[in-house]
Amino acid sequence: MPLEQTIDQAVQQFESSFSDAQDQFIQDVEELQEQGLSLEEILAILAGISMLDYFLVDLQMQSAVTRLMGSFDTLLDDAIFFGNVTERQLQALRQVQEASILKFTDDLSTRSRAVLVQGVLRDLDRNALKDLLQRDLLVRPQQVNTIIETSLATYSRSLTLLQLQENPQQKLIYQNPLDSKTRPVCIRMLKEGAMTADQIEAKYPGALLDGGGINCRGQWVPLSPNTQNKEIRQKAQVAYQGLMNKAKKKGRAFKPPQTLEQFYD
């Protein structure tokens, strides 16, 4: 399964599970109110909960995390290998990402509690509590999307970096969907031919690890008959020329798009 499809599926599943968990959290708070507990008692209960355990076990987010980690396994199955990789190395990469996902889930659960406490203090009903959560920048779906996409893409790129340790001269080519969401810098990298890791880092610093930046769906893969997509490269050349023409029409000097590392350098 292509990287972007694996990412999209993983994001949708995790978002759905997290939304269900939030709904159940609101229902649990409502039940405390219906039992006649005072505001002070409810706040004390919320403050004393281990939020990660509560979300993972009681609200069944553990199954969502397990499914998400299965997406990392899918990326591993679909990876193109050009060097020796040990089981311990692969397990270490997976554990790093799993720790990151668990930390993110903990952050989401803790933030959800903070938001719901505000709603309880304002005596909001269920719909208003749900709206309050959806408006919060730190727990809204876009935030989940960004973290999950970046984690999966980083893992996929890490597999390439791991193999480059033994094969530094391996030629790589950039793969990324070419559509309305494709960043200018990704279009620029798509039009490139095969390059070594050193050549990529010299021209596009940081791109081996972060592609075109946060949420980027692209990656550098080993050159082969299956990865050398001349049609995409030609379309990218046309699209890139269009970017330059657009800038010229507006009377602006065209500045080649940069990677995040170049931008902040």
Rounded to whole angstroms, the Cα distance separating 19 from 110 reads 15
Amino acid 95: pLDDT: 95
Q: What is the reported pLDDT for 160?
A: 93
> Does one domain contain both 178 and 154?
no
Cβ atoms of 128 and 198 closer than 8 Å = no
Q: Are residues 87 and 43 located together in one domain of the fold?
A: yes
Domain of 181 in residue numbering reads as: 168-264
CB atoms within 10 A of CB 201: 16
Q: What is the pLDDT of residue 202?
A: 94
226 in helix, strand or coil? coil
Among 104, 139, 159, give the residue marking a domain's end.
159
Cα atoms found within 13 Å of the Cα of residue 247, Cβ hemisphere only: 12
Q: pLDDT at position 262, please?
A: 85
- Residue ending a domain, among 159, 182, 217, is 159
Looking at the fold, whether 94 and 194 belong to one and the same domain comes out as no
Mean pLDDT of successive 10-residue segments in the chain (265 residues)? 84 92 95 94 96 96 95 90 91 94 94 95 92 85 84 92 93 93 94 95 93 88 88 94 91 87 80
> In whole angstroms, what is the distance from residue 64 CA to residue 17 CA?
6
Give the pLDDT of residue 10: 92
At 84 the pLDDT is 86
My answer on whether 220 and 137 are in the same domain is no
The H or E element spanning position 219 is strand 219-222
Measure CA 167 to chain center: 27
Sign of CA dihedral 252, 258, 263, 265: negative
> Same structural domain for residues 15 and 134?
yes
Q: What is the pLDDT of residue 234?
A: 95
Query: Which pLDDT does position 134 carry in this prediction?
Result: 86
pLDDT value, residue 1: 65
**Confidence (pTM):** 0.85
Yes or no: say if 124 and 133 are a contact pair by the CB < 8 Å rule: no
Q: Which amino acid is at 168?
A: P
Helix, strand or coil, per DSSP, at residue 173: strand
- My answer on whether 93 and 222 are in the same domain is no
**Per the structure, how many domains does the chain have?**
2
Amino acid 140: pLDDT: 78
3-state SS, 92-108, equals HHHHHHHHHHHHHHHHH
Do 175 and 155 share a domain, yes or no? no
Using the 3D structure, point to which of 159, 176, 197 is the last residue of a domain. 159
Return the pLDDT at 143: 82
